Amino acid sequence: MSHQLIVEGCLARDRFTLELDLKVDLREALGIMGATGAGKTTLLRVIAGLEPKFFGRVEFCGDVWHDCDRSNRVPTHQRGLGVVFQDGRLLPGRTVESNLAFALQRAPSGDASISYEALLQALDLYHLLTEPAETLSGGERQRAALARALLARPRLLLMDEPLAANDASHRQQLVAHLSGWLRAENIPLIYVSHAANELAQLTQQLVVLEEGAVVAQGPTGALLNAPSPLMKRAAQSMTAVVTAIDPECGTTTLQLVDDHLAVGELALGERVFLQQEAADASDLGASLQPEPEENQD
């Protein structure tokens, strides 16, 4: 069975144009990477049918979802999607349980290989079932949205930084669960993220976007390790732990936890000295954010 996704065409916004000619086989999960404002979220919205002004064509598994030439458009609710938005987007005024029920009631019938209980357990949602959506923390909202998208038993799963608001240790577990479920259910996945390690674990192929255009496409592993300035720009986020503080020199030593740093050609095992330029230090300082605490949500 074909799992081909075709997105070709353009979408013009005030200060931004998305221009795409993308053909991918989604038997392998697709990662999307790119700097903020590169068009990652917009691309997902085009695939989901949330951008009616997209001028072009979207096709999935041989079904034409959007074709401006024939003014043919399959509405979002008929595309069989599961979407996890960055902010979770739970339905307000409803509890977590009611949000999950909303998805279950509209899901195609048939046996799911992921049980409801297993999902709640793994996503640590049991104690939140009766909580109103508005009272959840960012991480809790994302986990509930993840459960909701999976319970909809989608033909295609679109995820936009779905774990970003969870802390690092949670994220690792969630990625492991997610990759297990996707294998079990055999759901094609498109995963937008800044986190190289999540992309490496969940996706086999990668598309890098810059200013609304695809600038690189290929196997995830190869692209992530490619020594290009492009990847450095795309891979913005890295997790680090403070390992030493030297009050005399006024410096703090950081140990990178789970991200790679893509640099120029080096020999395997070579020791290198990384020096940060003074001009960059202030920039870096401004973008440094403390890791969310364990008990944050």
Partner 1 sequence: MPGDLQAVWLTALLAATTTLLLVPIASPLAWWLARSASPARSLIEAVVAMPLVLPPTVLGFYLLIMLNPDSVVGGLWVNLTGDSLTFSFSGLVIASIIYSLPFMVQPLQAAFRAVPESVLEAAATLGASPRDRWLNVVLPMAKRGYLTGCVLTFAHTVGEFGVVLMMGGNIPGETRVLSIAIYEHVETLNYDAAHMLALGLLCFSFLSLWLVYRYAGHRFEVVRG
- Note the residues at the interface with partner 1 (CB under 8 A): 48-50, 75-78, 80-83, 85, 87, 89-94, 102-103, 106-107, 148-149, 152
Write phi, then psi, for 293 (nearest 5 degrees): -75, 160
Residue 90 or 174: which CB sits closer to partner 1? 90
Q: How far is the CB of 280 from partner 1 (least distance, A)?
A: 36
Residue 178 or 223: which CB sits closer to partner 1? 178
DSSP 217-272: EEEHHHHHT---HHHHHH-----EEEEEEETTTTEEEEEE-S-----S---TT---
User: What is d(CA 40, CA 84) in angstroms, rounded to the nearest whole number?
Assistant: 13
Q: How far is the CB of 163 from partner 1 (least distance, A)?
A: 18
- Residue 207 structure tokens: 């598309």
Nearest to 61 by CA among 19, 7, 6: 6
Q: How far is CA 100 from CA 34, 97, 132, 147, 250, in A?
A: 31, 5, 12, 7, 50
Residues β-bridged to residue 7: 22, 58
Q: How far is the CB of 249 from partner 1 (least distance, A)?
A: 47
Residue 99 or 197: which CB sits closer to partner 1? 99
Residue 22 or 103: which CB sits closer to partner 1? 103
The residue behind tokens 């789970």 is 258
Residue 78 or 225: which CB sits closer to partner 1? 78
Instruction: Characterize 215-249 residue by residue with b for buried, 16 or more Cβ atoms within 10 angstroms of its Cβ, and e for exposed.
Output: bbeeebeebbeeeeebbeebbeebbeeeeeeeeee
Residue 89 or 233: which CB sits closer to partner 1? 89
Q: How far is the CB of 251 from partner 1 (least distance, A)?
A: 43
Q: How far is the CB of 106 from partner 1 (least distance, A)?
A: 4
Q: How far is the CB of 186 from partner 1 (least distance, A)?
A: 19
